[in-house]
């Protein structure tokens, strides 16, 4: 009876067909889940909401408000209900679609009697009589009303308003949305950028040499199916945490890097370049060679990435010495960044050794992970955790529930303050703790966290730029910014950094120019207790 039995063009059904299918499902013990809404623009928030709903039963019914009953403002809906229904039917997670021509879903719920009725999390404390009537209709027949865990607030109304600004391209609209928030007033951001010039920062993480070979156009070998390239230019630069140290120094910060380097030429290159830029380097002598990563490019295309490393290995004494260096260098630092890039140095054991020295020495502590492991979640009381969604879910073990559940697990496990989660092409979301909570709400992640969606800005940042975002967020926090301002500045830096290779630092002047380019249309970004607006 699921979507496999009904092709998309047959999913949009009449009332008679719907009630017949429902009766059959009831007789066969098939659990029916019901969602209702306008769905004028089906955006990522809707898709996540519907996927979560489908996981609660065997069949998902989505009812759509007919055009005559959409009260979203002038010229709404943008899309007639026939096409809105077809859009929903195209989703694999949706089994049945029905256009409801009555004012609310209450009467339909009385007829369908779903096993589960799913609403966005913002309805959990909603006293609107129309919703209360819907809830009564479901519960009167033994059904349950469930609220999705409220990944991110995406509002169709806000999206439509932003599209109305035809003078701005999509990137400008995204920037405007990001910097229209009260916390991101021009004077506030400018003040943070100025203070970053005099901040002291400690970076703890893996360093490697990033080599790049630029080649002429590739050709195919005549004797075998292999690509032939001829390097015309090669260069090497510090990568990983060493590259981040160069970025911080270029921004004017006083920087210390604590890492592990082999007693070899690549290790010597890293130390020489960093010390030449004014970075203090404290390194344990690894028994393994200094890692190297080589990229082969032809024009703007990346042809191959070669990882020349066996992982970083330190013995017990070296680990103790590294932790001692961290504690010594953290004293007086405005902020410390502990970052894991998956090279093997940042083990659970090392992070446990680092957490007391880093937390006790530096004024602010940030833990970031660029891989799907969880050592940074062994830090204690970090001011910010930075991870991509997939890595956060892997580290917390929260694979199916909403993103706020995973963020809350990370924050509560570390007793941290905030969690910045990258969503790839969807941008990112900053989760912060809510202030002024009642005592009986203290353990509820729904009331403890506020999620602020940060729109995607420009082209999607490459993998290496994610660390740049974490670094500049750390610098901003050390310059007394709020987590939201830190995430905004970090997002801007990640985009600037994505257009260049390792060893070419992002400067504050570039950030200023990019942020100035954001002043334009004023579209408010979502910033409220987590929910899902339709």
Q: What is the DSSP string of 241-297?
A: HHHHHHHHHHTT-EEEEEEEEESSHHHHHHHHHHHHTT-EEEEEEESSPPPEEEEEE
What's the alpha-carbon Rg for the chain, to the nearest Å? 26
Count the Cβ atoms, other than its own, within 10 Å of residue 362: 27
Question: How far apart are the two ends of the chain, measured CA to CA in Å?
Answer: 27
Q: Quick one: pLDDT at residue 383?
A: 94
Between helices 483-497 and 186-196, what is the axis angle to 10°? 70
Q: Which of 267-271, 312-316, 320-324, 448-452 has the highest mean pLDDT?
A: 267-271
Q: Quick one: pLDDT at residue 179?
A: 63
Nearest in space to 63 (alpha carbons), one of 90, 32, 96, 103: 96
User: Residue 381 in 3-state DSSP?
Assistant: coil
Residue 359 in this model has a pLDDT that exceeds 50 = yes
Between helices 389-396 and 403-414, what is the axis angle to 10°? 60
Q: Looking at domain 3-148, does it have CATH number 3.40.50.620?
A: yes
Please report how many Cα atoms fall inside a 13 Å half-sphere around the Cα of residue 104, on the Cβ side. 14
- C-alpha distances in angstroms, 469 versus 118, 145, 225, 428? 36, 40, 40, 11
User: Residue 368 in 3-state DSSP?
Assistant: strand
> 34 or 184: whose pLDDT is higher?
34
Q: Quick one: pLDDT at residue 152?
A: 47
Q: How far from chain centre, in Å, is Cα 17?
A: 41
Q: Quick one: pLDDT at residue 173?
A: 57
C-alpha 299/C-alpha 458 separation (Å) is 21
> 400 or 57: whose pLDDT is higher?
57
Residue 530 in this model has a pLDDT that exceeds 70 = no
Nearest in space to 359 (alpha carbons), one of 392, 384, 395: 384
> 26 or 68: whose pLDDT is higher?
26
452-467: average pLDDT: 63
Residues recorded for the chain: 534
Tokens describing residue 523: 């579209």
The pLDDT mean for the chain works out to: 81
Q: How far from chain centre, in Å, is Cα 324?
A: 33
Residue 492 in this model has a pLDDT that exceeds 80 = yes
C-alpha 308/C-alpha 327 separation (Å) is 31
Residue 498 in this model has a pLDDT that exceeds 80 = no
182 burial via Cβ count (<10 Å: 0-12, 13-18, 19+): exposed
C-alpha 362/C-alpha 254 separation (Å) is 13
Nearest in space to 380 (alpha carbons), one of 352, 346, 345: 352
Q: In this structure, are strands 335-340 and 200-205 parallel, antiparallel, or unpaired?
A: parallel
* Lowest-confidence region among 161-165, 351-355, 401-405, 482-486: 161-165
- C-alpha distances in angstroms, 385 versus 132, 204, 302, 473? 38, 14, 30, 10
Count the Cβ atoms, other than its own, within 10 Å of residue 361: 18
In this prediction the pTM is 0.67
φ/ψ of 69, rounded to 5, equals: -115, 15
C-alpha 319/C-alpha 58 separation (Å) is 52
Q: What percent of the chain has pLDDT over 90?
A: 37
Tokens describing residue 63: 């009812």
Q: Are 532 and 118 in contact (CB under 8 A)?
A: no
Q: Quick one: pLDDT at residue 241?
A: 94
C-alpha 302/C-alpha 300 separation (Å) is 7
> 265 or 515: whose pLDDT is higher?
265
Overall fold of domain 172-529: 3.40.1190
Tokens describing residue 302: 């990346």
Residue ranges covered by each domain of the chain: 3-148, 172-529
54-58: average pLDDT: 93
Tokens describing residue 355: 């957490």
Q: Quick one: pLDDT at residue 22?
A: 95
294-321: average pLDDT: 80
Please report how many Cα atoms fall inside a 13 Å half-sphere around the Cα of residue 477, on the Cβ side. 30
Q: Is 75 left (phi over 0), alpha (psi -120 to 50) or beta?
A: left
Residue 352 in this model has a pLDDT that exceeds 80 = yes
C-alpha 153/C-alpha 422 separation (Å) is 15
- 4 CB-near residues (< 8 Å, 6+ apart): none
Residue 458 in this model has a pLDDT that exceeds 70 = no
Nearest in space to 60 (alpha carbons), one of 33, 21, 89, 36: 33
> 529 or 261: whose pLDDT is higher?
261
- Give residue 491's pLDDT band: very low, low, confident or very high (50, 70, 90): confident
Q: Are 417 and 432 in contact (CB under 8 A)?
A: yes
C-alpha 419/C-alpha 408 separation (Å) is 8
- Give residue 172's pLDDT band: very low, low, confident or very high (50, 70, 90): low
User: Residue 399 in 3-state DSSP?
Assistant: coil
381-403: average pLDDT: 90
Residue 508 in this model has a pLDDT that exceeds 80 = yes
């Amino acid at each position: 009876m699921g979507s496999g039995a009904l092709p998309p063009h047959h999913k949009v059904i009449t009332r008679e067909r719907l009630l017949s299918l429902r009766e059959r499902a009831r007789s066969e013990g098939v659990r029916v889940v019901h969602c209702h809404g306008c769905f004028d623009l089906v955006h990522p928030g809707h898709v996540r909401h519907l996927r979560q709903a489908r996981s609660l039963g065997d069949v998902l019914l989505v009812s759509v408000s007919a055009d005559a009953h959409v009260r979203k403002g002038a010229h709404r809906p943008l899309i007639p209900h026939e096409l809105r229904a077809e859009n929903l039917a195209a989703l694999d997670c949706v089994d049945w679609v029905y256009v409801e021509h009555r004012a609310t879903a209450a009467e339909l719920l009385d007829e369908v009697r779903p096993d589960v009725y799913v609403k966005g999390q913002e309805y959990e404390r909603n006293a609107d009589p129309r919703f209360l009537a819907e809830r009564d209709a479901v519960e009167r027949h033994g059904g349950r009303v469930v609220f999705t865990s409220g990944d991110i607030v995406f509002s169709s109304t806000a999206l439509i308003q932003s599209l109305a600004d035809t003078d701005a391209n999509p990137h400008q609209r995204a920037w405007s949305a990001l910097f229209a928030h009260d916390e991101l007033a021009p004077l506030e951001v400018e003040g943070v950028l100025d203070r970053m010039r005099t901040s002291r920062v400690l970076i703890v993480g893996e360093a490697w040499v990033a080599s790049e070979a630029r080649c002429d156009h590739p050709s195919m070998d005549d004797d075998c199916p292999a690509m032939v390239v001829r390097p015309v230019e090669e260069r090497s630069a510090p990568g990983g945490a060493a590259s981040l140290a160069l970025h911080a120094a270029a921004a004017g910060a006083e920087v210390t890097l604590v890492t592990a380097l082999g007693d070899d030429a690549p290790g010597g290159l890293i130390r020489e370049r960093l010390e030449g830029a004014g970075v203090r380097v404290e390194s344990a002598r690894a028994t393994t060679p200094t890692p190297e990563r080589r990229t082969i490019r032809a024009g703007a295309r990346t042809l191959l990435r070669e990882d020349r490393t066996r992982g970083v290995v330190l013995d017990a004494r070296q680990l103790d010495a590294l932790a001692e260096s961290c504690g010594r260098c953290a004293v007086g630092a405005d902020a410390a960044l502990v970052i894991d890039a998956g090279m093997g140095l940042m083990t659970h054991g090392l992070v446990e050794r680092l957490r007391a020295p880093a937390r006790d020495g530096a004024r602010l502590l940030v833990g970031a992970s660029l891989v799907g492991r969880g050592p940074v979640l062994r830090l204690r009381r970090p001011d910010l955790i930075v991870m991509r969604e997939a890595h956060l879910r892997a580290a917390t073990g929260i694979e199916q529930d909403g993103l706020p559940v995973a963020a809350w697990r990370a924050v509560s496990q570390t007793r941290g303050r905030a969690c910045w989660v990258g969503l790839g092409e969807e941008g990112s979301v900053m989760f912060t703790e809510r202030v002024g909570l009642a005592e009986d709400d203290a353990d509820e992640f729904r009331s403890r966290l506020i999620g602020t969606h940060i729109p995607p800005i420009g082209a999607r940042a490459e993998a290496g730029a994610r660390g740049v975002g974490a670094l500049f967020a750390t610098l901003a926090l050390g310059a007394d910014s709020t987590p939201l301002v830190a995430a905004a500045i970090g997002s801007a830096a990640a985009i600037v950094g994505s257009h260049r290779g390792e060893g070419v630092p992002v400067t504050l002047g570039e950030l200023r120019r990019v942020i100035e380019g954001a002043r334009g249309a004023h579209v408010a970004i979502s910033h409220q207790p987590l929910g899902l607006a339709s």
